Every structure is written in structure tokens, then in C-alpha cells.
Structure 1
Amino acid sequence: MNGTTPLHSIGSLSTLTGVPVRTIRFYSDVGLLPPTHRTPAGYRSYDSTALIRLQTICALRELDVDLPTIRRVLGGDVSVAEVAAAQSEATELRIRALRLRQSVLRHLARRGYDPEATALVQQLIRLTSEERRRLVTDFIDGLTTGTPAAHAATAALRSAVPDLPDDPTDAQVAAWMEIAELITDNGFRARMAHAALPPADEDALPGVAAGTAADLVAFARQAVTAARESGTDPQDEEAVPVVDAVVARCASALGRPVGPELKEWMAGRFEEGHDPRVARYWRLVWTVNDWQVVPGHLPFQPWLVEALRRGRPGLP
């Protein structure tokens, strides 16, 4: 030694860097921080280059870089920039996983699942993106497709497979969990096989002349679309004038008096073929895929049925 380069003992190095003596000794023992010099008594000492090396090791460890990778950096096999880029990607994946976990926890907190349902949620959320997609496509493949209508429904379902994004919102996670619950329900599978798509307008009011039914359906659709666009809920007071207008139009066309009996008859007719759980499935798909919901493209019947039955105990 020429005596011009100051040397630091492990204790001095610990004081300078704040790294515990035990940790410095460990790095030295595994070869990441070889001592610059050893005294005749065997004590290790380190120069300024070793100090910088230790600071590099600590900085990389603080960023969760593993020891083998740090060894490659110190050996010149890989640059800090390359390691930082890889670590950034890995961190992004962990952040996404944590956000997803947080969204699931919020979902569980709101829904108050029992232990069995909670276990199902945990199982579903562990699925990869490809596994989630396969779960839905297997559901669609399992639907009965013996009729032209069923074939059309299946085609529509295939064109709108819910695909949870890598960084979903709480609403998208909740929607995906609800979809998963629906498609694992055998009863829902049977419903979807027969009512995945709404019937044609001329079939909405069975027993009514085609021209009359089409006019009534068109009027009802326009009225409900306007109500939806204004944000009116079917249970709100603001829904009453909408219902009254549709009922009056129907009463006039059919020659029937306005009253509870006509409202219930209309609710039954508009409800036919429009399973609320099927309609719910489509709304959830729009949420998961972050598609814009266009009120005029939504089935109007569920909204109208709920508004027609508003305030009637025992009725949905």
C-alpha cells in the first residue's frame, strides 16, 4: 500500500453509509464487496472505490434487485440502465396486481360474501387474462345452438367477450366478478341459451296486430330512451309521466281503460323474452370492456317494466 488512499474499517464504512456492520460483512463474504486490504490480524479494510461499490449495492437492493443481478452489474455484464428497465416492468406488474387485489377487497367489502363465495372470488381473480377469456368462451360454447335464433345469439356473444384490462377500475373488477358468477350458474346458462338477444319489435306484444304493436313499441322505445338520456331512474317520480304517456298510447290503440290491470298486462308483455339477468349480463360486458353505453341501443323493456310496476308491493 502506498499510504495515500484512505482505508476504512467495516465499522467506519458502516458509519459513513448507515449500512449495518453485519450486512457489510455479508456482502463481503459472498464476494460482492471484496476487501481492499487485510491487516496482519485479518481485519478487512476498504478504499473509496469499495465505498462507491457498497453504495451501488445498497441502492440496487433498495430497488429490490436480487443479488445475482447485482453481481452481474458489478461485473459489467449488464448495465444499471438495463436492470432499471427490467425492474420498472416488474414493478409495474406488481402495482397492477396490488391494484387488482385492492379492487377485489373493495368488492368483497361491499358485497359481504360468505366464505364459500369469497373462495370462489379468490379463485377467479387468480386466473390469467387468457384463462378468464377461456372461461367465457367455454360458457358460450356450452349454450344450446339448435335454432337459428340461438345461433345468432351465440354469434353476438362471441363478438362481445368481456376482457378485463391489465389495469382495471373498481367498477370493471366488480363487473367481471358478477359476470363470472352468472356464467357459472347453470340456471343462467339455460336462460341465456333462449334469451341472449331480445325478440323482434313485432313480437314484443303477442296477440296485438303487427302494425299496432310496432307503433306502440316504437313510441315506448323513444319515450324510454329520452328518459334514460336524462338520467331518469324507473323508480323516480320523474318516471311517472313517461309511464303515463306510454300507457295512454297503449290504451288508446287497444281500446282499453287506463288502470292497474292494463299496466300489469303491459309489464307482462314487455317482460316476455327480456330476462333481467340477461340484460344485466350485457350491461356488465359493456362495463368490463369500457364501451360507451348508448341509451337508444339498450333494451328498453326492462326499464319500462320496472317503471310500470313502480310502487306495487310484491311485484319486481
Structure 2
Amino acid sequence: MNGATPLHSIGELSARTGVPVRTIRFYSDTGLLPPTDRTPAGYRRYSDAALGRLHLIGVLRELDVGLTTVRRVLDGDLSVADVAAAHADATALQIRALRLRHSMLRLVARRGPSPEETVLMHRLARLTSDERRRLVADFIAGLGADTPRARGAAAALRTALPDLPDEPSDAQLAAWVELAELMADDDFRARMADGALPPADEDLLPGAAQEAVAELLPFVRGAVADAREAGIDPNGADADPVVDAVASRCAAVLGRPDGPELREWLARRFEAGHDPLVERYWRLVWAVNDWQVVPGHLPFQPWMVQALRRSGRVSPSRR
């Protein structure tokens, strides 16, 4: 017909779009791309509108849109914008899942766990946010409420609950897995019930008058916090003035002479008042929540014990 728009064969559509002939024929057979006309010999022919329709099908399929949804778009039941929004949300979920998988693989590669541990780590990493909250709640509830200390420990834990984000970093995921393993340990739960709070002052320095302890321990805590803030290594010579000041104050308050015997006694008492596994729990919570570690919030005992014992190995004349 004169002036009529020329029609295209399947081969021409394939050449212009890059879609294989067999795929175009499949779209045509399923009604997604009905032919505009047929030749007397029965060969299919397609208009420019069909060419545009094929371009849209190709884009939607490349975006992983299912054929049923493609048909609804072509029929006008759904807009391209609606489909794009839905698939953007789905893709975001897939991306998060891939990132979690990537972090998990890196964690397994770094820790080298046994097959059983690998399965447990994978299960812990894939818990939903609701399941993670239940795990933490069950752990806190398991501390019991039989003693004031256990009730106080549970209250302290509730003030800083671990909350793993939807897209955790490698460090956050590793911290969460280790934290969940700790919370599943009955022995650790018992230790946490007794050690989540700082030990009573009279437990740290038995035999000392209450007024003396009330004066001494804040001084020690403050001295260690300042030393940490300044980046002082407890095993280095820069720690000596801090230890000397603490030992001198302790000697005066307790009425005992300063020297190796007093310093070792203080080291033993501070060491007994600190549970490194409980401290590890709090550090993991900070890591999961991506909180900054504040030196003044760290237990003072580990730093002070190391510094005291170093001072006992170095005579005053050599310092």
C-alpha cells in the first residue's frame, strides 16, 4: 500500500534490538509481541510500534521483571514507575543479602571455624531483627531476679542493647556473632549476673574504711582514664608517674608503706575485681552499635594491674 509504514521481519527486529530470533518468536507465541501482519506465506511482520514494544520488553527483562508483570505493563494494568519502585525495593533487599553473605564469608575465612561452628555462625548472622531482639531479651531474662545484684545487672544490660543494623560492616557482623555465642553460654550468663556491674568498693579493697575507699577509688579511676586518654601504655615508662601517684595515694589512705608489697597487693585486688569476659561483652556491644569507646567508661583494673606489676619489676633507681 502506497505511503504505508514498512513492516519488519523477525530477523530485522533481532538485528535492530539484539534480541535473539528464537526469543522474539517466543514473545510472539505467548502474546507479548503479537505480529502486526503476516505475509501470504504466513511469515510474521511487525510495525514500528511493535519494535518499541520489544525494546520495552527487553529493558524490563534485563531488569529481571517477570513475564507476568511484563504482560501487565504492556496491557496498561501497571505503570513502568510502579514496577520500577517495587523492583528497586526488592533489589535493595538482594543487595543487603549479598553484603551480609560477603561479610559472612570473610568472617569464616578469618576465623577458620569447624564445620559445626560455621553452621552456627551462619545461623546467628541470618537471624532477623526480631529474632536478634528475642535472643538478647532471653539472655537478660536468664540472669534471674533472685538477688539484688542480678536485678541490677539486668537493668544495666537493658541500658545498652546490641542492635545490629540491616547492612552491618564486617566488624559489626563479627562482633554480633561473637556476642551471640557468649549469650548462648550458660557459664557466661552466670558470670554476667555477678559481674555486669562494677564490684562493690569494699570487695576491691577489703579491710579499708568506707571513707578511705570512697576517696581512693575515684582517684584511681580518674588517673587511669586520663592515662588512657593520653595514650599511655601501661607497660611503658610513661606509666610510672601514674603508678607512683596512685601508689602514694593508696599508701596514705590505707596507712601502709609504699613499695613492691603494697603494689602487688593492689594489683591482686584490682585483678580479682575485674572479669575480662564481661568487659569483652561490653566492647562487643559497642562494636555492634558502632559506638565510640570512651576511655572513662572502660574498666580501670586491667590498665592499673599491668602498670602496677611493671613498676614492681623496675626499681625506683632505674626509672
> TM-score, normalising length from structure 1?
0.90
d(CA) in 1 for partners of 2:248 and 2:22?
86
Q: Corresponding residue for 1:8?
A: 8
Q: Corresponding residue for 1:82?
A: 82
Task: Give structure 1 stretches of 5+ with no counterpart.
Answer: none
SS of the residue aligned with 1:8? coil
d(CA) in 1 for partners of 2:204 and 2:71?
72
Distance 1:237 1:179, change over 3 A: farther
Comparing 194-203 and 12-21, the one that deviates more = 194-203
Q: Corresponding residue for 2:226?
A: 226
SS of the residue aligned with 2:143? coil
SS of the residue aligned with 1:168? coil
Q: Corresponding residue for 2:183?
A: 183
Q: Corresponding residue for 2:247?
A: 247
- The Cα shift of 1:99 comes to 1.5
d(CA) in 2 for partners of 1:80 and 1:286?
44
Which aligned runs of 4 or more in structure 1 are off by greater than 6 angstroms? none
- The Cα shift of 1:309 comes to 4.6
Could you tell me which amino acid in structure 1 is paired with residue 116 of structure 2? E
1:194-273 alignment, distance < 5 Å = 194-235=194-235, 238-254=238-254, 255-259=256-260, 261-273=261-273
Q: Corresponding residue for 1:166?
A: 166
SS of the residue aligned with 1:144? coil
- Deviation digits for residues 90-132 of structure 1, max 9, x if unmatched? 1111111112222222222222222221111111112111011
CA contact (8 A) 1:202 1:214 kept: no
- The Cα shift of 1:42 comes to 2.6
Comparing 221-230 and 106-115, the one that deviates more = 106-115
CA contact (8 A) 1:235 1:307 kept: yes
- Deviation digits for residues 158-177 of structure 1, max 9, x if unmatched? 23221101122222111111
d(CA) in 2 for partners of 1:226 and 1:106?
37
- The Cα shift of 1:84 comes to 1.0
Distance 1:149 1:52, change over 3 A: same
d(CA) in 2 for partners of 1:235 and 1:120?
38
d(CA) in 2 for partners of 1:128 and 1:244?
51
Q: Corresponding residue for 1:132?
A: 132
- Deviation digits for residues 122-171 of structure 1, max 9, x if unmatched? 11112111011111111111112201121111122123221101122222
CA contact (8 A) 1:145 1:193 kept: no
- The Cα shift of 1:52 comes to 0.8
Q: Corresponding residue for 2:316?
A: none
> TM-score, normalising length from structure 2?
0.89
Comparing 223-232 and 76-85, the one that deviates more = 223-232
- The Cα shift of 1:235 comes to 4.6
Q: Corresponding residue for 2:108?
A: 108
- The Cα shift of 1:310 comes to 5.7
d(CA) in 2 for partners of 1:225 and 1:72?
65
Task: Give structure 2 stretches of 5+ with no counterpart.
Answer: 313-319
d(CA) in 2 for partners of 1:307 and 1:97?
46
Question: Number of aligned pairs?
Answer: 312
**2:296 matches 1:303:** no
- The Cα shift of 1:265 comes to 2.2
Distance 1:7 1:204, change over 3 A: same
SS of the residue aligned with 2:257? coil
Distance 1:170 1:237, change over 3 A: farther
- The Cα shift of 1:237 comes to 5.1
d(CA) in 2 for partners of 1:231 and 1:9?
77
Structure 1 vs Structure 2: percent identity of aligned residues? 68
